[in-house]
Chain A
Amino acid sequence: MNYIDLHAHMISRTTDDYHRMALTGCLAVTEPAFWSGRDRLGPQAFADYFDHLTTFEPARAAQYGIAHYTWLCLNPKEGEDRELARQVLALIPGFLDRPNVLGIGEIGLNRVTRNELATFLDHVELALEHSQLIHIHTPHLEDKYKGTRVIVEALTQDPRIDPNRVMIDHAEEHTVEMILGNGFWTGLTLYPKTKASPARAIDMIELHGADRLIVASACDWGPSDPLAVPEFVLEARRRGHDDALIQRIVLDNPAQFLGQSPKFVPVKTGRAPVAADG
Chain B
Amino acid sequence: MAAHTNTGLLTQTQLLDLYFMEHRAGLLALAAFLDRLDRAQGADQAAEDFRLRALREALHELTSPEPGRVKRAQLRLSDQTLDLLDLRDSQSAFGAPARPKAEAEP
Contact = CB atoms under 8 A, between A and B. Distances in A.
A116 B88 contact: yes
Given A139-B93, A146-B79, A113 B74 contact: no
Interface string B66-106: 00001100110111111111111111111111000000000
B7 A150 contact: no
Majority secondary structure of chain B interface residues (helix, strand, loop or mixed): loop
Interface in A182-231: 199-200, 203, 206-207
A238 B85 contact: no
A51 interface: no
Contacts of B82: 146, 149-150
A114 B90 CA distance: 14
Contact of A80 (B80, B88, B94): B88
Interface residues of B, number: 32
A216 B77 CA distance: 24
A145 B71 CA distance: 11
Contact of A113 (B70, B78, B79, B84): B84
Given A115-B87, A143-B93, A173 B81 contact: no
Contacts of A140: 92-93
A85 to B, nearest CB: 13
Interface string B50-61: 000000000000
B90 A111 contact: yes
A17 B98 CA distance: 37
Contacts of A112: 84-85
Nearest to B9: A240
Nearest to B15: A239
B43 interface: no
A203 B9 CA distance: 11
Contact of B18 (A110, A144, A172, A238): A238
B10 interface: yes
A111 B79 contact: no
B8 interface: yes
A173 B71 contact: yes
B34 to A, nearest CB: 18
A275 interface: no
Contacts of A110: 88, 91
Contact of A207 (B4, B79, B93): B4
Given A80-B87, A174-B78, 18 more contacts: A80-B88, A110-B88, A111-B85, A113-B84, A115-B88, A141-B95, A142-B77, A142-B78, A142-B96, A145-B80, A146-B78, A146-B80, A149-B82, A150-B84, A172-B74, A174-B71, A206-B8, A240-B10
The 7 closest A-B pairs by CB, nearest first: A240-B9, A141-B93, A174-B74, A145-B78, A113-B85, A173-B71, A206-B7
Interface of B: 4, 7-10, 18-19, 70-71, 74-75, 77-97
11 contacts: A80-B87, A80-B88, A113-B84, A139-B93, A143-B79, A145-B75, A145-B78, A145-B80, A174-B71, A199-B19, A240-B10
